Structure 1
Amino acid sequence: MQHVPYVGSGPYCYANSFAMMFGDQAPSTAVIEFATGSPFGMQLIGGSLPFFDPYGWDPEAGFEGALEALGWTSETSHGEDAEDALSRLRSALRDGPVWVGPVEMGHLRHQPGMTGPIEADHYVVVLALDEERVLMHDPQGYPYASLPIGDFMAAWQAKTLTYGAPFTMRTGFRRVAELPEVDMIRAAIPAAIHWLQMTTDRPMPPASFGNGEAARLLADRLDGGCGKGLRAHLIHFAVRVGARRTADAATCLARAGYREAALVADEQARLIGALQYPLVVRNDRAAAETLRRLAPTYDRLLSALRNR
């Protein structure tokens, strides 16, 4: 079956936020996401929390390499003091929009149903700030969203997130190399190989696993039934973003001439996407079988990228 690139909604908050900061010089969000390394692996953190992204990876781990591959640079600042952070934000906004995150999504009360921390990370582009409210483009689907400063600062402190420093923002976005998108993709291939190899010095909780082993262990867990929290995490976030990432990886790899790797990434996208329905209708054994079919694809993708 022919690979068809995906275009549509989905939880691509930092890729969309970067694209907004790049303006009319932005590459596609598929290329931005590819450059972060996110499609290249799977992890099961602490034996219980699955993500379809590399072992030891989080968004902050991929940003600097992504910007370099894309031909961009920016300046990052963060700190513990809320008053200083707000002052830095006001000052930076004089030069234009500011990229902010990670933030705790549960404090973004302009999103329906958000009433407090849910331990979910997010990224936004802040446009303006007055004495009472913050104006932002929230790539979750809320352009020109307005939020009271107190709620925004609680979100920006990122106190309930497992990665990132409080009050982090990026400014001074500058294009340092004019590259065709295909060259951006090729520049990101070494990072893809690195992440698939699961070689990381980033600390991981005990009983954390990656790639095929992560897929098999999650399948074993689903055989015993999927708990409410795990199911919600999978069907509302992890499967959706995982399928899109790998679909975008297949598109990018094909564009750059990595035909065999593109075929494997497309297979991964189809398998991850196929998890959504059985998990929603609680056919956990079917989802477990799909995960077992996914497990060997990570070694195959690594081999295809290495041996091209």
Structure 2
Amino acid sequence: MAHFPYIGSGPYCYANAFAMMLGDRAPSTAVIELATCSPFGMQLIGGTLPFFDPYGWTPEAGFDGALAALGWTSTVVKGNDVADALAHLTAALMDGPVWIGPVEMGHLRYQPGRTGPLGADHYLVVLELDDQRVLLHDPEGYPYASLPLDDFMAAWRAETISYGDPYTMRTAFTRRAEIPELDVIRALIPGAIRWLSMDGDHEMPPGSLGNGEAAERLAALIEAGCGDRLRGHLNHFAIRVGARRLADAATCLARIGYAEAARLAAEQARLIGSMQHPLTTGDDAAAAAALRALAPTYAQLWSALERASHDR
């Protein structure tokens, strides 16, 4: 089956938040997401927590490089405590909306069912605040959401998030160069190859695995008994964002003539996306089979990107 691009909702919080901040000059969210190199790999953190993104990667690992590739810069500000963070945010809002994150999604109580920390990271754009409430755009599907200030500060403290620092925000988004999307995609290929290779030092918990080994191990975990926590993480987040990232990667790679790499990324997207129904309905054997089919594709994608980059 030929790849058909996806357009629709999904957990693209930081890509959508960046697009809001970049305004009418923003590239597509597919290119923004690709610029972080998030589609290129898989990791099983501590041998138990899966993400369909590169081994050792976190969103913050890709942000500065992504903005630079897109031709933009921003200023990162981190508050020392509640008072300091509020002072910085109040001052920054005088110049317009402010990009915020990571935050703990469980404290965003305008989202139904959110009653406390989940260990789930998220990104927002704050529009206004006063001494009681914050007005914000939440790219999860909540424009102009209002949140009590105490809940917002608890979310922004991000003490249950495994990466990043409390009270982090970005301001002063400035366009330094007008870079066509095709040039952005081409420039990201070396980073994609590097992340897929798993080279470099990565501060990972013991037992962590990447790429094919991660897929094989996750298949075994699911077959041994997929608990509610793992099933919920996969169904509500990891599969949705993983399939979306790779579908966008396939679209972008095809645009620059990387036909074999695009085909492999599309195959990965289909395999990951195919796990949604089995895991929802309890057909764990089918989900494990998809993961085992996925395992060898990471090395294949790495090789395809290497060959295509050497041919140019």
TM-score normalised per structure 2:
0.98
Match of 1:60 in 2: 60
1:55 and 1:198 in contact (8 A); partners too? yes
Aligned to 1:157: 157
Residues 101 and 156 in structure 1, CA contact (< 8 A), matched pair in contact too? yes
* Aligned-partner Cα distance in 2 for 1:79–1:214: 36
Q: Which residue of 1 aligns with 2:28?
A: 28
For the residue of structure 2 that corresponds to 1:170, the secondary structure is strand
* Post-superposition offset of 1:79: 2.9
Report the Cα distance in structure 1 between the residues aligned to 2:31 and 2:209, rounded to whole angstroms: 27
Structure 2 residue 251 is the aligned partner of structure 1 residue 251: yes
For 1:256 and 1:173, how far apart are their aligned partners in 2? 28
Which residue matches 1:275?
275
Partner of 1:301: 301
Partner of 1:191: 191
List runs of 5+ in structure 1 lacking aligned partners: none
Counterpart residue type for residue 214 of structure 2: A
Q: Could you tell me which residue of structure 2 aligns to residue 223 of structure 1?
A: 223
- Distance in 2 between the 1:23 and 1:13 partners? 15
Report the RMSD for the aligned CA atoms in angstroms. Answer: 0.7
Partner Cα separation in structure 2 for residue 110 and residue 221 of structure 1: 34
What's the TM-score once normalised by structure 1's chain length?
Answer: 0.99
Aligned partner of 1:92 in structure 2 is 92
- Residue type of the alignment partner of 2:129: L
Decide which moves more: 211-220 or 192-201: 192-201
8 Å contact kept, 1:41–1:210: yes
Q: 1:199, CA displacement in angstroms?
A: 1.6
Moved more, 71-80 or 28-37: 71-80
The question of whether the paired residues in 2 share the 8 Å contact of 1:56 and 1:200 is answered with: no
Count of aligned pairs between the two proteins: 308
Partner of 2:105: 105
SS of structure 1 residue aligned to 2:188 = helix
Moved more, 76-85 or 151-160: 76-85
Superimposed CA distance per residue, residues 206-238 of structure 1 (whole angstroms, 9 cap, x where no aligned partner)? 000000000001111111121110000000000
For 2:266, the equivalent position in structure 1 comes to: 266
**Identical counterparts, % of pairs:** 69
Q: CA deviation digits over 1:42-75, x for unaligned, max 9?
A: 0000010000000000100000110111111000
The Cα offsets for residues 99-152 of structure 1, whole Å up to 9 and x where unpaired, read as 000000000111111011000000000001112111100000000001011000
Other-structure match for 2:289: 289
SS of the counterpart of 2:55? coil
Q: Which runs of 5+ in 2 are unaligned?
A: none
Q: Deviations over 1:146-179 (max 9, x none)?
A: 1011000000000011001000000010111101
User: 2:142 maps to what in 1?
Assistant: 142
Name the residue aligned to 1:17. 17
| CA contact 2:79–2:88 (8 Å) conserved in 1 | no
